[in-house]
Chain A
Amino acid sequence: MIKSVGAMGFVLAMLLGWSAQGQVAGTSAQLNQAVEAYNSNDLAGAAKLFYEIKMGDTQAANRAQAEYYLAQSLFKMGMYQSALAFFNAVFVAGPAHPYYLKGAEGLIKVAQALRDDTLIPSQINKYYNSQEFARMDPLVLSSINFYVGMLLYRQEKYGESMAFLAAVDAKSRVYAKGLFLQAIIHIRLGTRYNMARDETRSQAEYDQAIKLFNNVIGLSGFKEDQAQKAMATYDNILRLWQLCTLNLARAYYGKGDYEKAVMYYSRIPKFSQDWADALFEMGWAFFLREEYGKALGSLHTLHSPRFGSLFTPEAWILKSTVYFHVCLYEEAKAAIAYFQGNYEKFLPELKNLVESSLPNEKYASLLLKDSLDANDPMAVVPPTIRSSILTSPRVENFRHFLRSLEAEGLAIPQVSEWKGSRLLQELAGVVSMQRNLLLRTAGGFVKANLINRYQTILGFVGHSKMVQLEITTRERELVKAELPIQAQLRGRLEPRPNVPDETFNYWSFKQEYWQDELGFFEYTVRDACPANP
């Protein structure tokens, strides 16, 4: 009997892909039965037996083994949240638990399955043990390091985050993501030093970021076959390449090299998810290059019906600023009026929401429900604000997590082997508790975003008032100088722009938006600034 259980244990070990070293199969008859069920893919039966061993076996080794395989059985059944509870129990037990490292590995598998980049990484980080983890498969450890690095990045602990991200193995699927995140941290630091007027360190950070972004793009080898290989090797690298392009533009923008910034912004594909950001930021880059017609052209696309519901308060402030710089004060005022009528008006509602005493979970409906009832407190959130929150890639992760939990909550009572068992009760409790936790987390995310939108609009209200004040001053000066207030009387309209070469077409814009023309607009404006304003 002992021999046969040992053989079964070996089969199990092979199936699970772990080395046989140090693993001794359980010796009790019940454990033998559980292992047998597991090997014959009777996962529900195995889970029930492992649970009973875990709860009642007198030998600690058996309980530990059963705990881990209970988690594995549940994971294989697609009950990720339930599996998470037991992998977590194994992991938090620490190195004394014989399956400690496997527990950490299991947590990562669950995190990937649930697309959880917050709760599980946070748990791993809490119990991270570098000495023990050094014994782990380098690729699994790389995933752990990436998740922890990302968590620390979100907590703005950049130094620690970089240490974890730099430890990601080059063969890992998350290697490119790790490089990318390091580059983003350099950008953040560059911005931080820039604001602190530390030019040298700021430039150094941007340079480092540029190098890392180029490294990620360089994984393609700039050849199709190598790029295909990279796509098969690294997670989501196609998306990363585009993000690297956008962030290269940002890095050059941060360095003050607006020409290169515009070059990279222009490479963002039209209609891609980053295009609106690129258009807006390119508008700023053109403005800083004093190419006002092109700046207005970028904003013209951004303000086209294509992006009708996009949350772009700053774009209107930029537009008014551009007009102000070319002394078209009426146009500047019109842009401010648009901002006031379409964004500033949201402030009272947003203020009520962010200052209300609603518990976090009440906010979650905005993110997790496709349509909101009229009595839902989130129903008052303006559609523009709501859609701006829903475009975050984290939203889909939350939704996926919730869907997974709900499916699991429904599946647990359906398992016939578990009817009336303690296991069923415990798992139902785990799922319910986790669902509540998720609702609180998602609600917190929504609330943080509402606060962010509120503060953003509020900040631009201040900007708009400054522009208005400046306009009033300039108009007074015009009156004093006995110059006409009407811009039409102060200068001539610039001629149409030159067509760069014959591979370009010129169309005049007649208030019709043709989809293919978006992104190709350019303004010419009246030169309305007096010689001595």
Chain B
Amino acid sequence: MKNIIFGLVATLLMMGSAYAQSPNERVHVLQKRNYSVKNKTEVSFFGGLSVDDTFTQHYAGTITVDYHLDEAFAIEAMWMTSKIPFVNGDKQGDGYTGDGIRWGMGYTDALENLRSAQLSPSNADLAMIGNFVGLNVQFSPIYGKFSFFNMGLIHTDFYVTAGGGLASTEYQRPDDVWVDTGVYFMGDFCLGLRIFLERWFALRLDVRDFVFAARVENATQTGFDTKIRSTLYVMFGVSLLFGGEDPVQIWSPY
């Protein structure tokens, strides 16, 4: 895709040929991709935050490793974390909030406001994602370029990612005790943009939604509630790309 919006703005486009094209011919561009990803391994490091929950706020660090089967498909393994793994929340009672462990998990002011009104949301709404390990399939049907105010071209690809994995979630009861809900399946779906700066280096922007069935104690602690929760993250990352097709050595003998 040549991005039309930027393309129109940019004056890089050298409009107008000295020689008009006739109806008896068509001009095509068959261009070798500047940024081929085929057979490349991509390691990405993201920082992200959740953007749509009323009561919870996540900050997450994420590492993904993608293997690009071809220009369009990749398999992706990911680990996302907001909490130091393998530390159980329910052992941290007596008012201890576990800030050092749960470095990226917290509640919003909305929860405080609600509680000050002697109200309480469902525990399921308070469940937060501590760690997630997943496997995804990535599909990149769109490869494009932007011209940015005649300063140069930016090559990008857009992708969708879908998959799932195992997540651990936790929530904090009104009595401040953290409850670990255990490990269970979580699905994720993502729309993303990859901006290539070098053949080995790219920036990524992911909008990633995690869907899970939060199974928590009910308000009276006499049973369990299950609620489908979805948490949307916006993530910014950098990618390092290894392997793949060597760039064509045009003339250089080495």
Would you give the shortest CB distance from B48 to chain A, in whole angstroms? 30
Which residues from A are CB-within-8-Å of B70?
A: 502
Contact partners of A520 in chain B: CB under 8 A:
29-32
Q: Are B28 and A523 in contact (CB under 8 A)?
A: yes
Chain B minimum-CB-distance residue to A227? B254
Counting chain A CB atoms within 10 Å of each CB, which of B19, B21, B71 scores highest? Answer: B19
Contact B253 A516 (CB under 8 A): no
Any B CB within 8 A of the CB of A338: yes
Judge whether B251 and A268 touch: CB under 8 Å: yes
B228 interface contact, C-beta 8 A: no
**CB-based nearest B residue for A237:** B253
Given contacts A303-B17, A516-B145, contact A507 B24 (CB under 8 A): no
Contact B25 A503 (CB under 8 A): no
Which single member of A266, A328, A499, A516 contacts B25 (CB below 8 Å)?
A328
B17-49 interface (Cβ within 8 A of A): 17-19, 21-34, 36, 38
- Whether A493 pairs with B29 at a CB distance below 8 angstroms is no
Produce 1/0 per residue, A79-114, CB < 8 A to B. Answer: 000000000000000000000000000000000000
Known interface pairs A223-B254, A269-B250. Does A508 touch B19 (Cβ–Cβ under 8 Å)?
no
Question: What does DSSP make chain B's interface, helix, strand, loop or mixed?
Answer: loop
Q: Are B25 and A524 in contact (CB under 8 A)?
A: yes
Provide the residues of chain A in CB contact with B19, threshold 8 Å: 303, 334-335, 338
CA distance A303 to B14 in the complex (A): 12
Distance from B99 Cβ to chain A, minimum over Cβ atoms (Å): 49
Task: Report A-chain residues with C-beta under 8 Å of the C-beta of B252.
Answer: 227, 241
The answer for the CA separation of A325 and B36 in the assembled complex, in Å, is: 37
The docked-state distance in angstroms from the alpha carbon of A531 to that of B18 is 33
Q: Would you call A296 and B147 a contact (CB within 8 A)?
A: no
The answer to whether A484 has its CB under 8 Å from any CB of chain B is no
Count, A-B residue pairs, CB within 8 A: 152
Say yes or no: A521 contacts B254, CB within 8 Å: no
Give the interface size bracket for B toward A.
35 or more
Q: Does B197 contact A (CB under 8 A)?
A: no
Residues in B whose Cβ lies below 8 Å from that of A300: 27
Q: Is B5 an interface residue, CB under 8 A from the partner?
A: no
User: Does A224 lie within 8 Å of B250, measured CB to CB?
Assistant: no
Number of A residues whose C-beta is below 8 Å from B? 61
Is A34 an interface residue, CB under 8 A from the partner?
A: no
Per-residue interface assignment for chain A, residues 295 to 311, with 1 indicating a CB less than 8 Å from any chain B CB and 0 otherwise: 01100100111101000
Across the interface, do B153 and A516 meet the contact criterion of CB distance under 8 Å?
yes
Q: Known interface pairs A328-B22, A508-B28, A523-B28. Does A503 touch B254 (Cβ–Cβ under 8 Å)?
A: no
Q: Mark A223-254, 1 if CB is under 8 A from B, else 0.
A: 11011000000000000011001000000000
Q: Is the CB of A528 within 8 A of B31?
A: no
Cβ of A526 < 8 Å from any Cβ of B? yes
A312–B250 CA distance with the chains assembled, in angstroms: 24
Q: Which listed residue (A245, A268, A504) contacts B31, Cβ 8 A?
A: A504
User: CB < 8 Å: which of B26, B71, B250 contacts A268?
Assistant: B250
Q: Is the CB of B38 within 8 A of A503?
A: yes
The docked-state distance in angstroms from the alpha carbon of A523 to that of B30 is 10
CA distance A439 to B61 in the complex (A): 70
Residue A513 contacts which of B13, B22, B72, B153 (CB distance < 8 angstroms)? B13
**Do A245 and B22 contact each other (CB < 8 Å), given the known contacts A504-B33, A512-B7?**
no
A196-227 CB mask vs B (1 if < 8 Å, else 0) is 00000000000000000000011011111011
Q: Which 9 A-B pairs have the closest CB atoms?
A: A509-B27, A220-B253, A526-B24, A305-B14, A507-B29, A520-B31, A227-B254, A513-B14, A267-B251
Known pairs A245-B251, A328-B25. 11 more at Cβ < 8 A?
Answer: A226-B254, A304-B17, A305-B17, A493-B24, A504-B30, A505-B30, A506-B28, A509-B28, A509-B29, A514-B145, A520-B30
Interface residues of A (CB under 8 A from B): 217-218, 220-224, 226-227, 241-242, 245, 266-270, 296-297, 300, 303-306, 308, 328, 330-331, 334-335, 338, 487-488, 493, 496-497, 499-500, 502-509, 511-517, 520-526, 528
26 A/B residue pairs, CB under 8 Å, sorted by A: A217-B253, A220-B253, A223-B254, A227-B253, A267-B251, A297-B27, A300-B27, A304-B17, A305-B14, A330-B22, A338-B18, A338-B19, A487-B24, A500-B30, A503-B32, A504-B33, A512-B7, A512-B14, A513-B13, A514-B13, A515-B12, A516-B145, A517-B31, A520-B29, A522-B28, A523-B27
